[in-house]
Structure 1
Amino acid sequence: MATVTERSGGRIANAIIIPMIAVVVLAVACVFGLMIWSSHLSDESAETSQRSLLKGAIDLKLDQMARQQVGTVSWDKAYFKASETPLDQAWLKNNIGQWLDETYGFCKTVLITSDLKTPFQFSSTGEGDWVTPELMEQLNGAVAKTRARAIISFKKTPSGLYKHTVDTPVSSEKNANTGLVKIGDGVYFYSAAAITPELHTITANRRAPAVLVNFDKLDSDIISKIAGISGLDGLSLTKSSIARPSLASLELRSPKGQLLGYLQWRANKPGTEMLRRIAPVLLILALAIVGLTVGVMDFTRQTTRNLSQSQAKAVYTARHDALSGLPNREQFTYLLAKALKEPQTEAEGSAVVYIDLDRFKDINDTLGHGAGDEIITAVAARLRAVVPGSGVIARIGGDEFAMLLTKCDSAESVERILTRVQDQLVRPIRIDNNELYVSLSMGAALAPRDGDDPGELLRKADIALYDAKANGRGRWSFFDNSMQEHVQTKDKMSRALRQAIDNDALDIAYQPQCDSSANQIVAVEALARWDHPELGAISPSSFIPLAEETGMINDLGLWILRRACRDAHQWPDVVISVNVSPTQFKHPRFVETILETLEEYNLPPSRLEIEVTESVFAGQAQTILTSMRRLKDRGVKVALDDFGSGYSSLSYLRTFPFDTLKIDRDFISNMDQGIEAQAILTTIIQLGQALGMTIVAEGIETSEQLKFLADSGCHRMQGYYISRPLPDNALTAFLEDHELNAAMQDTVNASVQNTRSLKAI
């Protein structure tokens, strides 16, 4: 029973005490806050009042300068002396500069003419050229306003002349512009006023007057006077504001808003004094909540630590590649820029290396992206093991890595590391039950030899990587200027090729193919030609690979196809053979494009023959097979070009439905070397015949070659012996001549046959 009562009493006590504590704490907090707020308002009010007094004292000083300046600027002799060319420097120094210094303490004086020049400068210390462009920039606004007021004061009279109304000294001071500027390390009061005539007030033209600017340095004496006027204690000039509760400050700014310094003083803070008297009571109250604060702080500390760990993890994730754990492109660029901020010399330079896995796409295509990820992880681990401690290895994206090497004394030291990189990839990488051999191509750029800008070095390393891949892969190249020239030339040519395709500036040459008797032209092969207005004739072996590399091959191939289909109507009954690149054949709308083009030019599909090489089958054999069958179903012929140059031509012949087999020209050129070459050629022809294909031999240059091929059963002949590639108009003439010659030859043959028959009778 007692226990129950104690528990009940405890609950009641808690129900009463806890709210009371909350009320008391709230009340104390409110009182504490009200006291602090009241003291703060009181301090601010006092400080605002003191600041107003200080501003008034400064304005009083500036008004005094303007009044003291009136007698000098409103003076006929000064007006004419300031307009003379050249100026009387001695007079101006004695009667203006020194006089104002000795009389009013103006330690510096400058005369600004109508063309904003400063031909007269005076300094009490003898300092020369103290009028700087920065000072003139600060004074521009004041000078402009002063001139404007002076010009307006000239009123036009009925006679057409202008009269200047002389102000009284009291009103003249209002025509001056005053303020503060910075000269060197000092802060100066200034007063700028236009030099105007006093008695000679009539003039033919209004013009901008010369402006006299006087300066008085804000030194300790003037600060003491200002402090006495404003009643401030400890007034001093500082360059920066010192953040102390006991100090107040006033910003000093130039007419342009430039911060010149601060006037600081010991502020009168009545609110703070009041708060200090009640601080012991507030301290007791603060101690009462220390325990609670400690608990909250501990909880906050734990929460903050967890948050910091989460934030650090997020930052790390943002700067590193999730798969390999290496820094990503953004982090690598940052680290590179940081490294290049250090002085780069030939003895201790840096190197940027771009690394690319050779034929990585083949791994993804054959084994899947999971295997590709394992390759990336394994390569990253091996690269990390090779890079020196001061270096960086990063994954830029896909199968590309980048390496930063610091403190490199020569290209040879970089090569030693690149050799170690290559050695790491000699060992195979085991994926499941497969052992994969991966090679790398690398391009390097050196700082400071190749520059010290991060972007420039990365670009040059990429150019060197391209050179390494272009020259056989599995190697490295160091950047040199010839590579850049090659890239620029290629870029220029690619842009020119783009324009040539768009502007229909290319041309087509057609090489005839005759039948085995050489009496009839049965087909022509369309060959692209490009005659550049500046570069001259450019070989297809140059611009066709360029189109492949830059992605223009589809547009170029379509242009050739459309042109060939258009020209084909000039030569009825002749098959038009068009070469198709692997990229074109793999385009998802390749078949539709061919059929649409045939329909557009009203060309029967049976008159079109497309030529492909074995490289078209890499990686997409089933897709290619489907496309071929669709074309054959519509009547388009398909030829396998350069047969015998690949390593698996026989399997393609058996699998894919080719209509035509073109024997590589190397077999034709070698047939004169012996019976072995002729036997191989005969075997190829017999193989094609067994598969029901039309056999085409290209590269025929002699009558002996033509006769041998005809006797061996070859169906069509192509080569310089029959004809070189011809423009469309020349081809038309060639076909007419060839048909006429064939007819004459038939007549001769018939005549000979008749003669033989008569003799036999």
Structure 2
Amino acid sequence: MALALLVVGLVTVFVVAGLRQDDKARTRERAALLTSLRARETVMEQALVATNDEREALRQLALGDMTSLHRRFGVKLNDGFGFEFVYISDAKGRIIYSSERGEQNQLRAYSWIRPAIERALADGQKAALSGVVATEDAAGLMVARPFEEKVEGLDVAQPLVAITVDVIDPEFLRMVGAPASLEEVELIHRPQHGGRHVGVFIPNLYDGSEAELVWRGAHPGSRMLWGLMPAAVVLASLLAVLFLVLMVRARRLASDLVASEAKARELAARDYLTGLLNRGAFIEALDAAIARRRDGETLALLFVDLDDFKAINDGAGHVAGDDLLRAFARRTEEALGEGSVVARFGGDEFVAVVHCRDEGDLDRTVERLFAALAPPVQLERGGELSLSACVGAARLPQDAATGAELMRLADVALYQAKADGTGLYRLFEPGFDAARVERRRIELELAAALDKGEITLVYQPQVDVESERIVGFEALARWDHPTQGRLLPGAFLAVAEASRLMGRFDAYVLRMALLEARALPGVTLSVNMSALNLRQGAIYNMVAAALAETGFDPALLEIEITESAILDAQSEGQEALQKLRDMGVRLALDDFGTGHASLVHVRRFPITKIKIDKSFIFNMGVDRDASAIVEYVVRLGRSLGITLTAEGVETREQLRFLRAFGAQQAQGYLFAPPLPLVAAVAMLERQNAADAGATPDGASASR
């Protein structure tokens, strides 16, 4: 009877698991399809922003120069991005410019788009509007963006609205379904509610109803269920037999488990090397000490960090370092005495909580600790090492009201002690440098951000100056802070470089970029590396390890290092750069012109590219000296066989200067802002599709 119940139970588990797997697959497919559709909307909105110079458009409308407007706006969106319909309407929905499939003054398709625009204007839409417009005969993905600029003398209701539509046809549906490998994607204008749909409902801007995207869904759970059912029956039988055997043995083992449980809890709470409490056990002990504290009693928390421990560990070896840590733990417990709690938080960081009557009592406790650490440590393998440490302290209730706040303030005090020197003690004071407290906060939050994956990447294209074809992308880091939103590197990189996080940050960004760039084939990937990793000579090992892990082609990787870092590089850094170049990795000198480097100095390093700082590019055509400097750098760089890339290109005039000077590459908002990966992939795919010989007519040819 029990065996039958077990078999039935296992079959039920498999059936439920299969159905849940099918549901999860449908959920993933819906999310992936919506994400792909939103990504297409983002690309369309960015294209609308990039091609619509509002002031110039208003000027051309005021002059009646519709030919120039058509060439600069409608033709670019149709030929360059594949958007079939482009319109500009006034604030009342009247069309003042139209382009359908590249032909000016056409309004054949506007009849099924007009209701969506008129409804948005009637609702007082102020921001960009995007979504699906679907009728029985036609459908499209529409983005409408109100002008921010206005102009006097234009006899139409303002603000104007720029509109573009990407026709939803089989090729469009195949493209949005491709990221999730969805097949037979269809758009249903009037979905029949009810029944079991493998699809997702989306708003229809045409009349405020709903349209539905449906597809042939996968059923991994059902396939798995039928494939595993015979084996599951056999397995259930075996498990039943095993269960009977285990029941017999369990009775004999129960007493042994009870006896070992206490020992396991004790071991789990201890640091294996020093025998002190570990972090988790200490926090529990601190909370208990706070709960037992009597009125008028002071608890002090000490954060202790060994001075120059990394140098000792690297120079004398890990065995000597372990001897030092064990000696420190033993002496600290003896110095602080009975009633104190000492723990190792990891590495060379220790923490203790002690009871004290007043500040003088705390000072005497720290003096005992320093006295205990003063004698040299005798190493097991012979020899001796000196031992010193910095101590930061905070008190409860004088400085903090909770255990978490007490630990934070003691850490701030330790940060101050280490900033002031070695072998020092600091008691927390509210007047400590607020900037240092802020830097510490950023450092801790940045470390947590790396653990949680809050650091993301965007990609800005680098183009050939003559053809304007994409030849590479620069990966740029962004911090998606949980409370402050998206932060640019200027808000946190200085803190990372001043702490121990820079190496970890660079390795994280490099690995992520190499993994994501596999979606950007055939072009170079530029990644910035800090001066710190170059000075320490760690850059080669970091890059080599990332390439080995990801399998990325070294010939397509370009490491960007600032001008000052290159010139300050010692022999270890120069050797690391040469080893990277020998591996095939390209090396770019970033922000050239902001320091004191000259191309003569650059010849001493295996540099393959120079990136001219955007400050010079911005002033070209305005400042004669800036133009002359750029021309000189480009021509001399070409004579040395070095590729020249201009950063911060924003206007066609700047691009004409660069072409005249002979620069090879350019990067800036004229071509595209830093893009999410999906938008960068779409941009490159459009270029590759054009290279493959796609025809110019029809929606499919333009993608």
* TM over 0.5, shorter chain: no
TM-score of the two chains, using structure 2 as the length reference? 0.38
TM-score of the two chains, using structure 1 as the length reference? 0.36
Query: RCO higher in 1 or 2 (8 Å CA, sep ≥ 6)?
Result: 2
The higher radius of gyration belongs to 1
